[in-house]
Structure 1
Amino acid sequence: MQFELVSPERRLASMDAASVQIPGTDGDMTVMTDHAPTITTLRPGMLRVEAGGTTHEYVVTGGFAEIGANGVSVLAERAVAKSDMTQDQMDAMFDDAQDAYNRAKEIRATEPGLVDDAAKLLADMVAVGSEVGLSSKQPNL
């Protein structure tokens, strides 16, 4: 199946894939040929693509995945190949998650679930840092 990974800055990948592991907000999922058409939102995590006997790994912070008859298209808010990930990029992603959490705490009276969602985002970013072997700042919850 055809796999496409696009971020606002550029196209990161376009390849013929055997499977794609997606970090979905409702849980991780693996897409293979003939998967049912689906659209899902992404949470921060590792996107893995099996292609040509090789696993390609990408850090994503959110976005959408569209699974259709022609393959999988991922539109990521931010995406970086795991091999290209730097501590500065990890820090920036973590800082964005921390800022979202702090903003959610400020307006929690009107949107109580927002704080929980932001705390989950922050925890996901800490897990991503661990997975790519980069340190993440300890969250101030």
Structure 2
Amino acid sequence: MATFKFELVSPERILFSGDVISVIVPSVEGELTVLAGHAPLVATLKAGIVFIQTTDSNGKEFFVNGGLVEVNAAATTILAEQGRFIEDVDVAVLDQEILTAETKLAGSHDEEEQKRLREALIQLEEFKHVFQQRKAA
């Protein structure tokens, strides 16, 4: 299968950099699957799991919360507002992210920022629910 260059970057570090077969991205418009030769695009990320397929039988998962994905002819890059290895995520981490978003929302006086924070809060709460169901399975 054809591969392409992929990078997942959080403010703290590069979480992944290498060749991949595919990437599934949680965009605000819905899940997006990127394969080699994908049309160029830029999309906004929501809270969710990025799944990268590195070989026919191997994949890796990461948690992202906000940011952008850029797909071009040379590579696909995710610039995540927050990103973690999925192993580093649990309900306590998600509860802290929700509390942080609620605190920012309570302190905001800008309507556009309030709207963005409300949407981010909804996305985090939805992801927490999905995450809990996934762990229970």
**TM-score interval, smaller chain:** 0.7 to 0.9
- Which residue does the alignment assign to 1:48? 51
The TM-score normalised by the length of structure 2 is 0.80
Aligned partners of 1:133, 1:15: CA distance in 2, in Å? 30
SS at the partner of 2:37?
coil
SS at the partner of 1:121?
helix
Root-mean-square deviation over aligned CA pairs: 2.1
Structure 2 regions of 5+ residues with no counterpart?
none
Structure 1 regions of 5+ residues with no counterpart?
135-141
Deviation at 1:80, TM superposition (A): 0.8
Aligned partners of 2:90, 2:124: CA distance in 1, in Å? 14
Aligned partners of 1:127, 1:5: CA distance in 2, in Å? 23
1:119 maps to amino acid: R
| 1:31-70 equivalence runs, <5 A | 31-52=34-55, 53-70=57-74
| 1:74-85 equivalence runs, <5 A | 74-85=78-89
Deviation at 1:34, TM superposition (A): 0.5
- Conservation of the 8 A alpha-carbon contact between 1:19 and 1:31: yes
The TM-score normalised by the length of structure 1 is 0.78
- Alpha carbons of 1:8 and 1:115: their partners in 2 closer, same or farther (altered >3 Å)? closer
Aligned partners of 1:118, 1:20: CA distance in 2, in Å? 26
- Give the aligned length: 129
- Alpha carbons of 1:90 and 1:125: their partners in 2 closer, same or farther (altered >3 Å)? same
Cα displacement string for residues 48-104 of structure 1 (whole angstroms, at most 9, x for unaligned residues): 111112231111111111111122111111101112213442232111221233235
Deviation at 1:114, TM superposition (A): 4.9
Once the two structures are aligned, what percentage of the paired residues are identical?
Answer: 29
- Alpha carbons of 1:57 and 1:131: their partners in 2 closer, same or farther (altered >3 Å)? farther
Among 73, 92, 96, which residue is 1:92 paired with? 96
